[in-house]
Amino acid sequence: MTKPANLLSPDTSLLTGAPVNLSRRRFLLLSAGTTAGAFVLGFGLPVGGARAEGLSGTMKPGTRVPAFLEIRPDNSVHLQSPFVEGGQGIFTAMAQIVGEELDADPAGFIVENAPAGSDYKVMGNGMRITGGSMSVRMSYSTMRRLGALARQMMLQAAAERLVAPVGELTTEPGRVIHGPSGRSIPYGQLAERAMDLPVPDPESVTLKDPGQFRWIGKPLARLDVYEKSVGKAIFAIDCRAEGMLYAAVQHAPRLGLTVGNVRNEDAVRAMKGVHSVHRLPGAVAVVAERWWSAKRAAEALQVDWREPGPESDVRYMPADFSTAAFSDLLANTPGSGQEAENVGDVAGALKNAHTVVSATYRSQYVNHAQLEPPSALARFNPDGTLELWIPNQAPEMFQADIARRTGLDPSRIIIHSPLLGGFFGRHFIYNTATPYPQAIQLAKEVGRPIKLIWSREEEFLRDTLRPMAAVRFRGGLDANGLPVALEAVTVCEGPTEGISGHKDGKIDPSAVEGLAGKAYAIPNHRIAQIYVKNPVMLGYWRSVGNSMNDFLYEAFLDELADKGGQDPYQLRLHLLRGNQRLSTLLQSVVDLSGGWKRGPFTATDGTGRARGIAMASPFGTETAAIAEVSIENGQIRVHDVWQSIDPGSIVNPAIIEAQVNSAVALGLSEVLLEEAVYKNGQPVARNYDLYPILPSDRMARVHVRIIESGAKMGGIGEPGLPAVPPAVANAVSRLTGQRVRSMPLSRHTFES
């Protein structure tokens, strides 16, 4: 991953009007695979006059074909993905989508993360982030059009070579066919001429009818698996630069503290391999020839930490903070909240209800706990550019933030986005919770490239957490036990306002997603939020607000069903009457599980079991899940999870099934085990020994059914999680007769 130290400067042969990643330009030019005559549709490469003319001016996103594609003489296709691969299969999906319209086998694609640049903002909302399960669903049409434009350029080049009208030409995978004569030319042989052709008008290309799809909708094998399996995949933690030094940090034990006296600084400087010691905001760093030397030295530092002054704008962690006390504070905070949703007359319906059910449910803090610890490699280049190799989910956001911090123009900041070793929302811009500002400061002070790695312990200390919440529910039932009113008031700080700041009178949508917007036909319902600021840094976690709020809502809905003498499956069907899509989905998961069997019942192995059911509607996709549980040594064992998922339409069913399995695993880990506990202002867990995640021997069997309803395409990476925790909790309540209103279930001991 080491790049040349001296980067090329822009020259008159480069395209204008768009940022140029100079390191990427030189890499392509010097790459052994790039030979004379290649159809180098590579961002920022010198081009002939025709193409430069065709690319001048403002273009629609995803139509500047040279930003994305490179077709080489050996017929290989190199695609720069706008979205970052972190194990979710996005490289494969992008190859399928582009390859479908280009008519090139996706299995032969070589895909890498694209650099920062406005060309890669291909999502329908004008953004470029890898998160919110938005990548495919918000770029699907744009990336198809990209492939179609490239195919049209191949046809035009072939028309010149064969002296035949474009209308007589067609394509088969990787080649252009002239039907009347039977002649054909591989794409690679057309590269030299195609390189100098202008990009066609986007309106001139017609996309395929789905009935003609060759690859979209098929379970193609993942493109990234082989290199990961043999250890060739490059993550940020693997990146190196010539002449670099390593750095490790010791953070303040509590957020907001500042560096005072370092009592043994001279002794640490004298340790073997140590280059220097540095003071950072809220941390002290050691730079050394090897990372292990830096880590040992950083841990040896004896720092007098100071309380922040009144002028500090950093979030502050009090010395007496505990999650147990904070959870109680949330649960007992009075007020009616700021309304996110208010339909009908909730107060009147509750007053006149035959039965009123009240309950407070709670969710816990959780860590990201991704496999790869955060790291950053920073290098100031002789030409004045700043180059960074950082795990990230939004290159342009990082580029803009670094420009703000350094004063450099964004065009002078080169962002490399290696593969992510797990992320789940961890790699966004979180003040005090990301290493790249520290790496930049150290590289500037030392004058050499710096590779900073946070140890696992430092990551657990500074990780952003999924918010904690307490939700006060009230439900009204009529004489038949059917819901006529539901009120949910969540007391929390949402992750978005935790990052960007709370705005009075405004609701953070991420705080109420999973509570608001439910499809159940409860005539009177009200959803509100009471804002309470957290002392920890908050962040996005897989499926965001849905990951906790669907547990809270769906478990309370089961509680209403029990109070009203209703079967929870039948009650959901009743509340979804008239909604054919969700009714079909709910019936589908019941069929998948072999029929609704709530229990309790005795399994063939003699264990007592029960099943729970739940639904969720996250990120444009509809899901329904059933979980079957028993009790083993006082703790819950989940044997099977059945999930039906309707994302509207799909690209790769194998990836969907893998993502549902992954989401189920994380959902089970959340509901059974995971919890970030704080005592005396510090996290109890600083590694996996005290922060247990779901072990393989507790993983359930997962059964997946994919439904293509034809609705607008939804997301995949996150939707499989939210219905799992409430399905498990509802099964536990049925099996034990004990209504559990908080996660994780490991807090409770159940009798078998």
Upstream peptide bond of 173 is cis (omega within 30 degrees of 0): no
Examine the domain organization and report whether 539 and 615 are in the same domain: yes
Q: Kindly tell me if the per-residue pLDDT of 422 is higher than 80.
A: yes
Q: Are 648 and 713 in contact (CB under 8 A)?
A: yes
Residue 243 included in any domain: yes
Q: Are 349 and 524 in contact (CB under 8 A)?
A: yes
Examine the domain organization and report whether 351 and 420 are in the same domain: no
Determine which of 59-63, 234-238, 704-708 has the lowest per-residue pLDDT on average: 59-63
Examine the domain organization and report whether 719 and 589 are in the same domain: yes
How does DSSP classify residue 8? P
Examine the domain organization and report whether 507 and 526 are in the same domain: yes
Alpha carbons within 13 A on the beta-carbon side of 392: 29
Q: Tens of pLDDT along 498-527? A: 999 999 989 999 999 999 999 999 999 999
**2: confidence class by pLDDT, cuts 50, 70, 90:** very low
Residue 318 included in any domain: no
List 490's β-bridge partners, or say none: 471, 529
Residue whose token pair is 């694209």? 114
Q: What is the CATH number for 138?
A: 3.30.365.10
Residue whose token pair is 């100098």? 196
Residue 752 has a pLDDT of: 67
Q: Are strands 524-531 and 338-343 parallel, antiparallel or unpaired?
A: antiparallel
Q: Kindly tell me if the per-residue pLDDT of 52 is higher than 50.
A: no
Examine the domain organization and report whether 607 and 478 are in the same domain: yes
Q: Kindly tell me if the per-residue pLDDT of 51 is higher than 70.
A: no
Q: Structure pTM? A: 0.91
Rounded-to-integer distance, Cα 483 and Cα 523, Å: 8
Q: Mean pLDDT over all residues of the chain?
A: 91
Which residue type, as a one-letter code, is found at position 480? N
Last residue of a domain, one of 205, 229, 253: 229
* β strands within 541-621, DSSP E: 601-602, 608-616
Residue whose token pair is 């999870």? 641
Q: Kindly tell me if the per-residue pLDDT of 550 is higher than 50.
A: yes
Q: Are 22 and 9 in contact (CB under 8 A)?
A: yes
Residue 246 included in any domain: yes
Rounded-to-integer distance, Cα 165 and Cα 47, Å: 25
Which residue type, as a one-letter code, is found at position 606? G
Residue 319 included in any domain: no
Residue 127 has a pLDDT of: 87
Indicate the SS3 state at residue 87: coil
Question: In this structure, what is the dihedral angle of CA atoms 288, 291, 293, 295, given to the nearest 10 degrees?
Answer: 110
**11: confidence class by pLDDT, cuts 50, 70, 90:** very low
Determine the average pLDDT of the residues in 271-299: 98
Rounded-to-integer distance, Cα 679 and Cα 709, Å: 48
How does DSSP classify residue 513? B
Residue 63 included in any domain: yes
Examine the domain organization and report whether 11 and 96 are in the same domain: no
Q: Tens of pLDDT along 684-715? A: 999 999 999 999 999 999 999 999 999 999 99
Q: Tell me the percentage of the chain whose pLDDT exceeds 90.
A: 86
Examine the domain organization and report whether 283 and 396 are in the same domain: yes
Residue 66 has a pLDDT of: 77
Examine the domain organization and report whether 356 and 379 are in the same domain: no
Q: Tell me the percentage of the chain whose pLDDT exceeds 70.
A: 92
What tokens were used for 58? 């403002």
Last residue of a domain, one of 162, 194, 229: 229
Q: Are 643 and 705 in contact (CB under 8 A)?
A: yes
Task: Note the Cα 99 to chain centre separation in Å.
Answer: 24
Residue 50 has a pLDDT of: 33
Q: Tens of pLDDT along 326-347? A: 999 999 999 999 999 999 999 9
Last residue of a domain, one of 406, 425, 453: 453
* Residue 217 vs residues 73, 438, 649: alpha-carbon distances, Å: 29, 44, 8
What tokens were used for 73? 């003489």
Residue whose token pair is 């094998």? 221
Q: Tens of pLDDT along 15-44? A: 222 333 323 323 333 332 333 333 333 222
Residue 30 has a pLDDT of: 34
Residue 596 included in any domain: yes
Residue 63 has a pLDDT of: 86
Q: Read out DSSP for 328-370?
A: HHHHT--S--EEEEEES-HHHHHHH-SEEEEEEEEE--B----
Alpha carbons within 13 A on the beta-carbon side of 638: 35
Q: Tens of pLDDT along 558-604? A: 999 999 999 999 999 999 999 999 999 999 999 999 999 999 999 99
**194: confidence class by pLDDT, cuts 50, 70, 90:** confident
Task: Note the Cα 112 to chain centre separation in Å.
Answer: 17
Residue 670 included in any domain: yes
Task: Note the Cα 347 to chain centre separation in Å.
Answer: 39
Examine the domain organization and report whether 600 and 727 are in the same domain: yes
Instruction: Please calculate the CA angle 290-294-298 and round it to the nearest 5 degrees.
Output: 175
Per the structure, the count of domains in the chain is 4
Q: Tens of pLDDT along 117-153? A: 999 999 988 889 999 999 999 999 999 999 999 999 9
Rounded-to-integer distance, Cα 698 and Cα 636, Å: 9
Examine the domain organization and report whether 378 and 477 are in the same domain: no
Indicate the SS3 state at residue 193: helix
Alpha carbons within 13 A on the beta-carbon side of 283: 25
Examine the domain organization and report whether 225 and 245 are in the same domain: no
Residue 314 has a pLDDT of: 86
Examine the domain organization and report whether 222 and 125 are in the same domain: yes
Residues constituting the chain: 752
Residue 393 included in any domain: yes
Give the sign of the dihedral formed by CA 66, CA 69, CA 75, CA 76: positive
Residue range(s) defining the domain that contains residue 428: 237-311+374-453
